[in-house]
A and B are shown apart, each in its own frame.
Chain A
Amino acid sequence: MEELIDQQIAALGQTKVLVALKPEVLGYALTERDLPAVSDAARNWLGTFFVQPDQQQSAALALTAAHFAGRKRVPPRGLEREKVRVFPRLGLALGVVNARTVDLLRSDRRVANIHPAAELSLIRPVDIRPARGAPSPTWGVVRLKAPALWSAGIDGKGVVVGHLDTGVAGDHPALAGAISAFAEFDMAGNQVSRAKPRDSGEHGTHTAGTIVGRPTGQGAFGVAPGARIASALVIEGGQVIDRILAGLEWIVGKNVRIMSMSLGLRGYTPAFQELIDAIRRNNILPVIAVGNEGPDTSRSPGNYANVLSVGAGDAEDMVADFSGSQKFARERDPFVPDLVAPGANVLSCVPGGGYAAMDGTSMATPHIAGLAALLLQARPSASATDLEAAILGSCIRPASMPDYRANRGVPDAVEAFRILTGEALAEPVAKARTTAPRRSASRTARRREVA
């Protein structure tokens, strides 16, 4: 029970609980006349243990609940007026707690038990989704054939992916239960104690959603919706190099096998080579964006020979105009990117409970990290090199993608599975991948912003 409460707080920053009070607190024989005074007194001292619920989160919960109940959204009411509701006859109190106040409640002698409030089960749409039909997967996950692995029960469960970015909005419904660990590094690169999952921008929540986002009414956009992330907030601002290095050290300590880095410095610098070498020695596959500056450009360390360098393609199997690509005068792996993944019109979650479609190699990179997570679940003993070989070996370059822009082309989850495990997916399962792609966000008639 305590574990569930802690998990919800870790994921959302707060959670609703039902508190059972010891009988002597409210009196044994309440009369109707006693009730108001007893309730007021209890509300006064209990008030210090509860917090005002986050309105955005309440709205997101209500939206999710309404969607799955097949009715119009009903705005949350009531809780904004009072922090705690006391039910004196039942000896119960209901309210929202955070990490600090739940500890206070647990140590208070007047409290008998604390239970997760049942209402919060609504935040787990993945639990109730099957009864109402699965949300459509986005074009990106379909292009990689990830749904074929999902149908075989491979959704990344048990895998933790390192995520180095602007952070992650822990209160987004699509990321409930998807954050294994979170660390924030301040402007000087020092870890912020007891930091709660948050996003300093929007980038990190979007990339996290592409790796591990749980299906919502907006669609199934997470490639590995059963996996979790260990996320470090390291960009942008301050002594950013200190922050990035500190975040990387932290992630390596989390024993991940896959690291998603939608970041890099324009051009080539050998500065991070020792770091990447160390990451590889630690049996971690670095999946890194090549950059958004177009042909004959790239970013470091996404342009190193020993990383999985990712470019962006679109739903028409064209390499996106902005996607970086470059040839280096080196014997090993002279071309970057190594491959191309869906990176145009990519729908995922953003802070505030919302969703957005973005274009960029930053969006392509988490697709590959998610694919690697699926493969790692399929063969948990696989090394980072095994995962990389399976992904690269599965790539097919469509005729519409020139080799100097796309290199090996686009990976295929089903083929990568076969390469890694030596087994083919069963045919009835493989047929599931023919799910029609959903146009995750219209390419026309929607407001476009230059980010």
Chain B
Amino acid sequence: MANVTPSENWEMDTVIDELRARAKRGEAVAAQVFLHGTQAGDDLGEFAQKLVGAASAVHGGKARKASIGRVSNLAKSFSLRADPEVFVRLAKEPSVKAILPSQIDDVYPKPVKMVRE
């Protein structure tokens, strides 16, 4: 029986390790930050700004590299390009439910067989 907790590949520590591996030295990397909806409030964009601002500030000089992209009210989520260490800070926030890399190769179950007519 599987627990209703993230699979190992989607645990935040694993995702952040992957983001670190992807980021070239000193460069930002893109990921999607998912929030607990009840904690995000009505203005998700503003909430995201505050959240990212605080995480970037803690990380000092990397703040200018954090860039918020598309905000999805439906998914209570926002896209973020930032230094991997900013994601480390975000992962510790109680309002953050999950972080996923923006680039994932395997997003749909590929057909097992194909026969052309």
Q: Render B26-48 as a binary contact track against A, CB cut-off 8 A, 1 for contact.
A: 00001010111100000000000
Partner of A218, one of B10, B36, B104, B117: B117
Shortest distance from the beta carbon of B87 to any chain A beta carbon, whole Å: 14
B110 touches A292 (CB 8 A): yes
- Given A239-B30, A246-B70, A328-B4, do A359 and B75 touch, yes or no (CB 8 Å)? no
Closest to B104 in A: A240
Q: For chain A, what secondary structure do more than half of its interface residues adopt (helix, strand, loop), or is it mixed?
A: mixed
Contacts of B79 in A (CB 8 A): 189, 239, 241-242
B24 lies within 8 A of chain A by Cβ: no
One of A21-29, A87-95, A274-282 contacting the partner: A274-282
Taken together as a complex, chains A and B put the C-alpha atoms of A240 and B102 apart, in Å, by 6
Taken together as a complex, chains A and B put the C-alpha atoms of A420 and B7 apart, in Å, by 37
Interface residues of B in 93-117 (CB under 8 A from A): 97-98, 100-117
A386 lies within 8 A of chain B by Cβ: no
A189 touches B117 (CB 8 A): no
A32 lies within 8 A of chain B by Cβ: no
Partner of B98, one of A203, A271, A357: A271
Q: Render A267-287 as a binary contact track against B, CB cut-off 8 A, 1 for contact.
A: 111111111011100000000
- Given A264-B107, A271-B32, A274-B76, do A448 and B6 touch, yes or no (CB 8 Å)? no
Contacts of A449 in B (CB 8 A): 113-116
- Given A236-B107, A236-B108, A262-B108, do A248 and B74 touch, yes or no (CB 8 Å)? yes
Partner of B115, one of A249, A298, A361, A447: A447
Total residues of chain A contacting the partner, CB 8 A:
75
B111 touches A363 (CB 8 A): yes
Contacts of A269 in B (CB 8 A): 6-7, 10, 98, 100
Taken together as a complex, chains A and B put the C-alpha atoms of A252 and B117 apart, in Å, by 35
Taken together as a complex, chains A and B put the C-alpha atoms of A262 and B69 apart, in Å, by 26
Contacts of B106 in A (CB 8 A): 265-266
Shortest distance from the beta carbon of B50 to any chain A beta carbon, whole Å: 19
Contacts of A172 in B (CB 8 A): none
Contacts of A263 in B (CB 8 A): 107-109
A391 lies within 8 A of chain B by Cβ: no
Contacts of A161 in B (CB 8 A): none
Q: B residues bordering A, Cβ < 8 Å?
A: 1-10, 30, 32, 34-37, 69-70, 72, 74-77, 79, 97-98, 100-117
Q: A residues bordering B, Cβ < 8 Å?
A: 165-166, 188-189, 202-203, 206, 218, 235-236, 238-242, 244-246, 248-249, 252, 262-275, 277-279, 289, 291-293, 296, 298-300, 320, 322, 324, 326-330, 334, 345, 347, 350, 354-363, 441, 446-451
**6 closest pairs, A vs B, by CB?**
A267-B7, A263-B108, A271-B98, A269-B10, A275-B75, A239-B102
